[in-house]
Each structure stands twice: as C-alpha cells, then as structure tokens.
Amino acid sequence: MLVTNNDLMVPARKNGYAIGAFNVQNLESISAVAEAAIEEKSPVIMQITPSVIKYAGLAYISNLVKTAAQLAPVPVAMHLDHGGDFEIAVKCIDAGFTSVMIDGSFLNFDENVALTKRVVSIARPKGVSVEAELGKLAGVEERSVEEKEAILTDPEAAVEFVEKTRVDTLAVAIGTSHGAYKFKSKAKLDLERLKVINEKINIPLVLHGASSVPQWIVEKANKYGAELSGAKGIPEEQIKKAISLGIAKINIDTDLRLAFTATVREVLTNSPKNFDPRKILGPAKDAMKEVAKGKMRLFGSVGKA
C-alpha cells in the first residue's frame, strides 16, 4: 500500500526506530527492496532520483514502484530524492509520488526557504509530504573548524527554517557524505550537533549518505575486478546512536549498488558462457535484498508494518 514518508517517519521517531529509504533504479532493485520489506514485515521507502527518472523514464519507474506497493502487504512510500528544482517536484507529485524532497542546500538560506515553501504549498493540499535539506553533505574530516561549521547544519538555523517552511521532515548534515569513500581517516559523525537539533525542532530528521559500505562486499567486488580499495562507510554503532537522537529516515544507495555490482562481476567471472540476463541479474537482485534486510534489522523497523 502506498503511504507518505510522514506516515512512516512520525511513528518511527516517536518509537525510536528508523525507516530505510532505498534508492531504486530498475526492476531488480525495486523487487529486491519490496521482497526484503515483505519478508521482514517492515515499512519501507523507495526513492527515485532525477538522474534515475532521466535514465528509466518517469512513467516506467513510478509505475514499477506503484505496482510493487500495490502487491506488498506492508506500507511503501514513493519518494523523490534530491529534487533540484520546483518543476521536477511538481512532475513527481503529478505522477503519484507520495513524498518529495526539494534540495535547496546549494542555495543561500533565504532562497532555500523560498523554494521549499513553494513546494510545500503545492504538495500539502495533495497530501504529499515534503523533505528539505539544510547544510551540505561533503567530506569534512580534514576541513578547518570554520569550514565545518559552514557545511554542517546549524541548529538555530534549522529552527528558523522549519518554522518558515512548515516542511514535514528535514535532512541534516552532520558529517556524512555520498558515495563509497566517506572518510579518509576515522569515521565520526557530529552526534552532539544532532542531539541539539533534535531537541530544538519537533519533526522527523533524515540522514543522507549513510551507507556503511560493508567490507565483505568491497572485497567481493575487488576479487572480481573492481577497484574499490579504501572505500569506507558509516559505522553501524554510529547509525544506531543517530536513530536514538531523532533520525527517522536513513538513505541507502551505495550499499545496494556495491552488492549488485559485486554479484554481477562474480556471476560473469564464474560463468563465462552464461548470456541469460535472468541468471545474471537474479543473483544480483538477491544480493541487494539481503543488504536491504540487514538495514531494516539495523534500523529497528522489522515487524513495524
């Protein structure tokens, strides 16, 4: 069944767990996430980026997710991830998305507020929840104190932003980053900053760039020809602590990509005569499903459907 992010995240924040928001690109990733949610009896968010819409087509990818949601006996939200402008948000709302993210983090504060308010004014009357972002995701471990403060989410600014935009959920920057190479040194999130933000605003918070980059997947990919040495993600103990401090949605993309790619490489290497896409992509789908199930257990959403 299709629901909004807000429907899933408000009870998650209240009860101390988080919802996995998994980036999907094709039939295999959608099936993997749906099957994981059904088997774990977990609510789930399937999210689609503008680049995936360009790759797969809005009608194709949205209808695949709608079909999965209709067949699944668990709540499923269909979410636009990192919508960069008003137009893409409107297109996704019109296509049946139940939640959209408008990412104005590249703008100055007032421009971000104005863009977010505009999207909220369109989405709310249609029952669509809105996520926004304040702060910027980047590798910050080697920056100066002043540079870190400029990138990470300022708690007082977060209060003002939420009051002015009336956004449903807020993505905060506390030291995570996108991709497989999140840290050059020891991984460390600014959990004290997160605690202060959570105390000051009363809406669910979102953590982007939170893949843990399991080393067994990296090793498997490298064994079969990938070049991923040094890939490092967010330690699971820090993810658990972030959930206890108000994080109710955690975005996962890199870990699914790594599982898919490592498995495709393995199958092609071990079965060089195989040219059946089902026998290549099927194991890759199963690998993504196992990763998704592990995240649901880590986030505490198992059995919450």
Q: Torsion over CA of 7, 11, 16 and 19, rounded to 10 degrees? A: -20
How far apart CA 89 and CA 98 sit, in angstroms, is: 11
94 is an active site residue: no
**Three-state DSSP class for 264?**
helix
pLDDT above 60 for 148: no
- The pLDDT of residue 137 is 57
Please report, for residues 46, 62, 173, the alpha-carbon distance to residue 30 in angstroms, rounded to integers and kept in the order given: 8, 10, 27
Give kind and range of the element (H or E) at residue 247.
Answer: strand 247-252
- The pLDDT of residue 143 is 42
Decide if 161 contacts 170 (C-beta within 8 A).
yes
**Three-state DSSP class for 112?**
helix
Decide if 101 contacts 133 (C-beta within 8 A).
yes
Q: What angle do CA 62, 27, 74 make, to 5 degrees?
A: 70
Residue 23 forms beta bridges with which residues? 47
pLDDT tens readout for residues 58-71 = 999 999 999 999 99
- The pLDDT of residue 135 is 83
User: Which one is catalytic: 81, 168, 190, 255?
Assistant: 81
**Residue 141's pLDDT band (boundaries 50, 70, 90)?**
very low
Buried b vs exposed e over 233-272: b needs ≥16 C-beta within 10 Å?
Answer: bbeeebbeebbebbbbbbbbbbbbbbbbbbbbbbbeeeee
Contacts of 108 (CB under 8 A, 6+ apart): none
**Three-state DSSP class for 182?**
coil
pLDDT tens readout for residues 167-189 = 999 999 998 767 655 555 566 78
Mean pLDDT on 204-225: 89
- The pLDDT of residue 82 is 96
Q: Point out the least confidently predicted range of 111-120, 153-162, 184-193.
A: 184-193
Mean pLDDT on 94-121: 97
**Three-state DSSP class for 46?**
strand
Decide if 89 contacts 119 (C-beta within 8 A).
yes
Mean pLDDT on 3-31: 98
How far apart CA 286 and CA 86 sit, in angstroms, is: 36
Where does 2-299 sit in CATH, by number?
A: 3.20.20.70
